Amino acid sequence: MARRSQERGGSSESRASQEPPLDPEEQARALCLRLLTGTPRTRRQLADAMRKREIPDEIAEHVLERFQDVGLIDDQAFANAWVESRHRGRGLARRALAQELRHRGVDAELVTEAVQLLDAEQEEETARELVRRRLPGTRGLDRDKRLRRLAGMLARKGYSEGLALRVVRDALTEEGDMREGEEELWPHE
């Protein structure tokens, strides 16, 4: 069998090495399609990948324009889906979501539109749910340490200090870990 393959022009590996290399535009298209197959990407992420492969900027720009025209690249759809997914899955607040989107190269205007999909009430409810889930793990610690841990967890997820402290204070009060008169010591938003 191997002998017949060699008689007809060699193995598949040698035939592949005999094929001419793809021109830069074909390389750019193939790279973008491969990257978009696994997960959605932003325009900048694709441009960065092509730059790393040393595809000329004018060719990369042409391919990106074409992909955008046919709807394979849509930064607004990417941003909207990112906000929904990361808020629901990880409980991230608008501030953290905006930072992640900017890091991925989404235009500031598109970031603003996407994070506005989350309203303040939804964000606060998510913060309350995060605290409810973590509260049992802090039992046995002194009140101040619980406050710091829970508020710190919310801060790392992008929640404002005022909201984080209010949500934690409410949860501790509801649980009975707040003593009468101590609420005034903690800032309100």
Q: Quick one: average pLDDT of 107-129?
A: 95
Q: What is the pLDDT of residue 24?
A: 87
- pTM of the predicted protein model: 0.76
Q: How far apart are CA 101 and CA 41, in angstroms?
A: 11
Under the banding of pLDDT at 50, 70 and 90, the label for residue 19 is low
Secondary structure (3-state) at 1? coil
Q: How far apart are CA 41 and CA 106, in angstroms?
A: 10
The C-alpha torsion from 158 through 162 and 165 to 171, rounded to 10°, is: -90
Report in angstroms the alpha-carbon separations of 47 from 6, 55, 182: 41, 9, 54
The tokens for 39 are: 């997960």
Q: How far apart are CA 147 and CA 172, in angstroms?
A: 8
- 179 has a pLDDT exceeding 90: no
Contacts of 30 (CB under 8 A, 6+ apart): 22
Contacts of 159 (CB under 8 A, 6+ apart): 93, 95, 123, 127, 167
Q: What is the pLDDT of residue 175?
A: 86
Under the banding of pLDDT at 50, 70 and 90, the label for residue 177 is low
Q: How far apart are CA 167 and CA 14, in angstroms?
A: 65
**pLDDT digits 0-9 by tens, 136-160:** 999 989 999 999 999 999 999 999 9
